[in-house]
Structure 1
Amino acid sequence: MLELRNVFDNDGMHLEARRLYARLLLEHGRAQEAYGQYLRLVEQYPDLVDVRRQLAELAVDAGNWEEARRHGEAAIALDPEHPAHRALKALLDYQAARQAGDDVTAGEAAERARALLDDHPDLDVALRVLVDWHGSGPEPARALPHLERLLALHPDSLGLQMARVQMLFTLDRQDELGQQLHAMHAQFPENPEVVAMVIRWHLLRDDMAGAEAFLRMRAGADDADPERHLEVVELLRRSGGPAAAQAELERLAAANEATDRARIYALRAAQLRFDAGQRHPAMEAVADVVAHAQEDDLANEARISLARMYSAEGDVPAAQALVDDVLASDETNVEGLILRAAWQIRADAFGPAITDLRLALDQAPRRTDILRLLAEAQKMLGNIELAEQRLAQAVEISNSAPREALAYARFQIERGAHEAAMRVLTEALRTSGDLQVATLLAQTLLVTGDTVAAGDLLERLAQSGQPEAEKLARAMQAELLLRENRVDESLALVAAEAAQAEDGQGAAELSTEVQLLRILMSAGRFEQASDKLAQMREAFPEATFLRLLEANLKAIEGKNEEAVTIYRALLEDAPDEVIPVQRLHALLTELGRRDEAAETLAATLERHPEARSLRVLHALDLEHDGQAEAAIEIYQALYAEEPGDIVIANNLASMLSTHSDEAADLERAYMIAQRLNGSQVPAYLDTLGWVQLRKGEVDSAVLNLQAAARGLPRVASIAFNLALAYAEAGRTAEARAELARGFELAGDDQAVPQFARAQALRDELGG
């Protein structure tokens, strides 16, 4: 190969040298590099029919159908009667038909492939057609002989081995499946996916001993590479809990006494102890590893672990000092860069955070946690498209894993882009079956009113065989019926579930009873709901939350004083409960009894000064009462604690830009509001537009405020903001019209935000 590269230095167009070089790369399993060499050949010599065929077959292997079609059609045009090209034509026709859902045409292409095999039994592409055709049909076992023939032709093909695994799984040939997986491990011992499949096979058979024996075999002697021994530890943790893992780590540490291997195990053991609540002994053990580790990498790993522990204990300065030490000795340390970036994001230092995360991504380009943090930083800066790209990249790298799909979907839902969220959730559910994904998808479908897709999801969940998924399906079906105003059918469905609840399953029975009550309340059947609630309180006297439901019901019925009485009684019995305070505060505020609401809130806040939900209510009260500085102070503290809370970010940016003329405050409001770019939520667009107007970005402000006014046409403050933007843009007639609409909505309520500014503008415009 070295000699061939020398040929290229002298003659880059040498046909036979490049053909041989590509073939050697292919024989060494370097298919991607071989593809590049073959591609260069056809660029230089477009009519090389064998190279076109090779490129098409490599593209088929890679699943790149666009390239497979491009080179396959070129090969067919050059020599249409060649058996391999007729097989390629059958494959391309078959793939197009399958994609179009045309089983008749697909079957015809499969028949052509079968006929070719009569005379050419080793025709690779024709075999692939029949493997897929039979494998996806009613008799998948018919695909197996063709797959076996392909494996005989390509014994080193991991893809074909995986296909055989899937086939044996489909046919439920468990013993053969186990043999296949262990043979694959012998052939591909370093492939993590194969290792994971072997373990999963043992676990699905409840063969924990077999899984442990397999991993111990891989791990070797006690003084061998710790990485594989840690796989055994993780299995023991999953099967026997932290104590079993701890015992194995201590055994391995003793077997490797006074070495860095022992310290690696001591570090993992300390992390387990920390998670179990033995925090100070764990931190002392990690500090000991830092002090005595011989290898810098291990010392830095221990520093990172200790930094996380300090951070969890609330001592962020100590944690940051440790991370600074790590990055001083290794400026590309991935974990150190991630930790520092996370702190920078919390401190609104988004530029430095992005720099650190990009450097970390250079070292670990497939780390989805880095991509998620990058997305968060870009979102905070208002780079919504970049944030979306990073989250989409994480979804792609993880093959739509639940965590990444949920992060992407929540990002889209937050912006009001429900269609994008549903697409990624649907794919994630298809590949993982994860219940969290299913739940969010169900909620999103119901919110958007897509009853057809919701029905499809419901059927899939109902047939999954998972009890929790079936429970979600029943709840979803009841909700669908209720939304279609089929109240009695919805009630009957939930009642049937309640009737089937077995003895001793009180929690499950109560859950279905609560769902029945919710349906009655949603349907406005208050008398039936009241009767149902009385029955529930008698059947479940210990369920104190039923009193909360009773108060809610009274409030919905308009029996406000009775609701207030129940809420107050709940607070007397359980003064530390937050939810009754929230409900009582909301009801009293709605009734115009704001002083009582404030007193109730203040009393609970005195006992729970850190309760986030109550502090938000307090800030809103202060905002309503015109105490802007006090409200801003609370929002600042809430934002510092959770910079990712978009509601708090919106409120803080709005308050700063509305109630302050300080350049620093306006700059901060502008920075915070950038994350609202691209949102479809009218309230967020209102804040973004107003901040842009204060910063002189008039055209952008008008567009965002117009969208906000269309989304919330009955909010006077948004009308006032839009009028101010029109005036700034020189659109006087529109400003007058919007002002008139705003004052009509506001009436005489001068507490409406921007009322004074709107009055001043009206005087200025003479309207």
Structure 2
Amino acid sequence: MRIYKRLFPAVILLSGTLLLAACDSPEERAEKHFQNAIALIQDNDVDRAIVELRNVFELNSGHIKARQALAELHMQQGNERAAFAQYSILAERDPDDYESRIQLAQLAFNFGSWDEMDRLGTQAMELAPDDPRVKAIALTLAYREAANDGEASDRREMGNQAIKMLEQNPESLLLRSLIMDHSIREQDFARALAEIDWLIGNDRKRARYYQERLRILAMMQDSEGIETQLREMVKIFPEDSGQKATLIRYLVSQNDLDGAEAFLRELVDEAAPDETGAKVDLIRFLAETGDLEKARKETAKAISESNDPLPFQIIGAGFDFTEGKRTEAIAALQNVLETSKASGEGVTSEQTDSVKVLLAEMLLKTGNEVGARTHVEELLAENSTHPKALKMQAAWQIDADETGPAIAALRLVLDQNPDDADAMTLMANAYSRTGEADLAKDFLAQAVQASGNAPSESLRYASVLIDDERYLPAEDVLIPALRLDRTNTRLLSMLGQLYLRMEDYGRATGVIDSLRRIGGEQAIQVANGLEAEQLNLQKGPSEAMAHLEGLANETDATVGTRIALVRARISTGDLNGALALAKELREADPDSKALLVVLAVAHTAARDYDAAASLYKELIDDAPRNAGAWLRLSQVGLLKGDREAAKSAIDGGLTHAPEDPDLLWARASIAESDGDIETAIKIYEILYEQNSSSTVVANNLASLLSTYRTDEASQARAWTIGRRLRGSDFPALQDTYAWLLHQRGDSAEALPILESAAEGLPADPIVQYHLGQVYLAVDRSEEALEQFRKSIEIAGPADSRPQIEEARKLMQSLQNPDPAQE
């Protein structure tokens, strides 16, 4: 009883408080939270202010001022993604809110989301065309379009216009960025540096600005400035391993291995006693530069001296795996997980997460995808935002055409680290699958920037630009990467090919000279190939051949150089010369399987098919799983006109190498030409499962599904696979994509694409039939009749494929319409 007496007054007081609170409406209570938030903001207590603002939305989600305040607080904290979400809600609630759209467009620019910037900027232009910030947005979008289209005069005029606008709006990040790019293109590096330094001063934690400054220094060939800048970036972004990697890559490209090692040892000395990351970086560097014994010693020392030896034990397992001790390495990591699970102590969750990811990667490399997926799924069940696990999961989802979940997962990764180049590359792959080529290119460009112009990212993006015939932007990507990695043969090879396409032979010669200075068989081979191609373009095949003859006759000529001469002789029609040289090479090294293939190819070119077949059978007897030999034997059969022998060779190859993609492809082609479409589809399904990133496999599978199957599931799958073909310039891919559009009811959109395909494939009756069907769908019956007639003529009277039979029926009905239906 005594306890109740003591509590009774408190209960009465609490009840009174609740009754008073109940008298306030939700809007009134929301306003109180808002006023509390304002007071906290004035006291600079931002974290608690954000909590109060969120309380506002629980009571009144339509509180505009609270939403604006929260967006501004997120901006102050540098949390741009969160700010973008709040401004998006504001814009959705008020169609006339131009302020939010301006903020959203500027944020989209920061993210590199040009489609979003275009959409939001257009809305802002409609609402507030005279606002200086809107004018900057409009000019930025127009400038980018001119720069992409290669209209130098328009771009130059807009750059000068931006300089004038900056006088009225000196705080504009958009104008500063535009002027910087304009200055780079005009070779005004002093102005470009001034603008990027202003941007850095305005936002010292935006890594992209430092990458831009590095690019400018690279163009200026300021080696000392580059190294200084890279060292500064390591200090500014100590948690970003990519900055350290870029500096190391640069020092290695300068042949300063000692300097790179010294830098890493400095980081080890500066690290806290329990910090293992710096020593891990040092060990990995030693291993990657070929000093594995030294790396092993450092690892053993770290294991014996460290209070936390697990990271170094993991590295040791990685070394074992690389050296072929795969079973032992996997067993060691599995033991770590089992021990930590049993003991429940000694290993942090972060460490076990790292072990699970590494174990998944190892299992994947050994072909155990099920085991790899199990570890990744287990990790994500415990830690749903683990970046590496999310990226592995996203890669699998992209392969399975589950692009929506993959994009969502990658956004989680980028929310944690906006400069994750791997995530950006995967995002580009996902958008490429959905046919959104512009978005894919944007993410590839961002990946180059985020990676610090790393070779893989630069090559990937430059290749896309070259395919689009955007040669100058491709050069702008490759050169900064080379400034940081001067001896990279792949970068030099692509740059040399680019200059040949541009017919810039002077700079192509410069690339060839650089490759020769690097030396080594690979670099010399690339240089020889570029030089021969350049001579062929400039002076014709005879000069190129003479050049290769000279190289092959040099005393230090490699086998690769002489094989290249065999190929060149074949391509120019000197079949006897090619055969003689191939025999000479084979006699000099009778045990070489590669030279046996070269000799077989030479016999094939000289139409001595029996001799070629005998050599390929010799290869097969020695190595029955040699899929290439079976495939070439099949090709010899086709050249002899013996189709059954060709088919038998493919079937024989598949007996020994049932999963070989080239043999499967050949078998699918045979099945298709035999009219066995279902078998062809089954084989393409296998090929697609093996490598769903292959555009050609995707096209063929989507084409067969959409052309020969009518069920809803097959049509839906064909669209999922084939939508990536949007925007292609290749006629076969255009035909597939346009036919898919037509089947989905978008015949008007399909028409111009299919007209282009039919023009590019004038001898393909199915493509002409498809165009006829689309003409029919858009009520252009006369043109449809002409197309069906053309399809039938090309196919010939013996062709009984369903499409050709349908074309015959439709031609008859169009020529002789039923009067009753008129």
* Shift in CA distance, 185/654, structure 1 to aligned 2, threshold 3 Å: closer
Query: CA contact under 8 A between 1:422 and 1:444: conserved in structure 2?
Result: no
* Shift in CA distance, 7/685, structure 1 to aligned 2, threshold 3 Å: same
* Shift in CA distance, 284/557, structure 1 to aligned 2, threshold 3 Å: closer
Letter in 1 for 2:518: Q
The whole-number CA distance in structure 2 between the counterparts of 1:212 and 1:560 is 57
Query: CA contact under 8 A between 1:181 and 1:198: conserved in structure 2?
Result: no
Query: CA contact under 8 A between 2:566 and 2:578: conserved in structure 1?
Result: yes
Query: CA contact under 8 A between 2:631 and 2:649: conserved in structure 1?
Result: no
**Equivalent in the alignment of 2:820:** none
Point out the more displaced range, 452-461 or 328-337: 452-461
Point out the more displaced range, 520-529 or 606-615: 520-529
2:518 to 466, 481, 492: 466
Letter in 1 for 2:743: R
The whole-number CA distance in structure 2 between the counterparts of 1:511 and 1:690 is 45
Point out the more displaced range, 509-518 or 705-714: 509-518
* Shift in CA distance, 72/749, structure 1 to aligned 2, threshold 3 Å: same
1:331 to 381, 384, 399: 384
Alignment of 1:213-612 (within 5 A): 213-220=262-269, 223-239=273-289, 241-257=291-307, 261-290=308-337, 291=340, 292-411=345-464, 417-420=467-470, 423-425=473-475, 427-432=477-482, 433=486, 434-443=488-497, 450=501, 452-453=503-504, 455-463=506-514, 465-467=517-519, 468-469=522-523, 471-483=525-537, 486-502=540-556, 508-560=557-609, 563-564=612-613, 566-568=615-617, 570-572=619-621, 574-612=623-661
The whole-number CA distance in structure 2 between the counterparts of 1:98 and 1:383 is 29
CA deviations 1:628-676 (Å, max 9, x no partner) are 1111111111111211011111111111112211110111011100011
TM-score normalized by the length of structure 2: 0.67
CA deviations 1:448-505 (Å, max 9, x no partner) are xx36135522333314522254542332221233345633322222222223342xxx
**Equivalent in the alignment of 1:670:** 719
**Equivalent in the alignment of 1:700:** 749
The whole-number CA distance in structure 1 between the counterparts of 2:492 and 2:401 is 34
CA deviations 1:693-724 (Å, max 9, x no partner) are 22322123322221111222222221122112
SS in 2 for 1:584: helix
The whole-number CA distance in structure 2 between the counterparts of 1:597 and 1:673 is 31
Query: CA contact under 8 A between 2:243 and 2:452: conserved in structure 1?
Result: no
Gaps of 5+ in 1: 10-35, 37-42, 47-63, 77-92, 107-124, 133-157, 503-507
Q: CA deviation at 1:617?
A: 0.6
The whole-number CA distance in structure 2 between the counterparts of 1:171 and 1:341 is 39
Q: CA deviation at 1:235?
A: 2.8
Alignment partner of 1:646 is 2:700: no
The whole-number CA distance in structure 2 between the counterparts of 1:373 and 1:186 is 25
Query: CA contact under 8 A between 1:405 and 1:425: conserved in structure 2?
Result: no
* Shift in CA distance, 726/239, structure 1 to aligned 2, threshold 3 Å: closer
**Equivalent in the alignment of 2:148:** none
* Shift in CA distance, 584/213, structure 1 to aligned 2, threshold 3 Å: closer
SS in 1 for 2:590: coil
Q: CA deviation at 1:206?
A: 6.8
Query: CA contact under 8 A between 2:471 and 2:502: conserved in structure 1?
Result: no
TM-score normalized by the length of structure 1: 0.72
CA deviations 1:63-118 (Å, max 9, x no partner) are x9879944875699xxxxxxxxxxxxxxxx999999657xxxx9xxxxxxxxxxxx
SS in 2 for 1:348: coil
Q: CA deviation at 1:445?
A: 6.1
Alignment partner of 1:683 is 2:737: no
The whole-number CA distance in structure 1 between the counterparts of 2:184 and 2:431 is 40
SS in 2 for 1:225: coil
Letter in 1 for 2:309: A
Gaps of 5+ in 2: 1-38, 46-105, 107-129, 134-157, 171-178, 195-208, 817-822
Query: CA contact under 8 A between 2:541 and 2:572: conserved in structure 1?
Result: yes
Alignment partner of 1:659 is 2:708: yes
Query: CA contact under 8 A between 1:379 and 1:387: conserved in structure 2?
Result: yes
**Equivalent in the alignment of 1:87:** none
Alignment of 1:605-624 (within 5 A): 605-624=654-673
Equivalenced residue count is: 635
Query: CA contact under 8 A between 1:405 and 1:428: conserved in structure 2?
Result: yes
Query: CA contact under 8 A between 1:188 and 1:194: conserved in structure 2?
Result: no
The whole-number CA distance in structure 2 between the counterparts of 1:45 and 1:669 is 48
* Shift in CA distance, 196/313, structure 1 to aligned 2, threshold 3 Å: closer
Alignment partner of 1:739 is 2:812: no
Point out the more displaced range, 667-676 or 544-553: 544-553
More contact order relative to length (CA 8 Å, sep ≥ 6): 2
The Cα RMSD (Å) is 4.5
Q: CA deviation at 1:183?
A: 10
The whole-number CA distance in structure 1 between the counterparts of 2:429 and 2:528 is 36
Q: CA deviation at 1:214?
A: 4.6
Letter in 1 for 2:302: L
Q: CA deviation at 1:590?
A: 4.8
Q: CA deviation at 1:763?
A: 3.4
* Shift in CA distance, 529/275, structure 1 to aligned 2, threshold 3 Å: closer
Q: CA deviation at 1:597?
A: 1.0
SS in 2 for 1:216: helix
Query: CA contact under 8 A between 1:303 and 1:322: conserved in structure 2?
Result: yes
Alignment partner of 1:635 is 2:684: yes
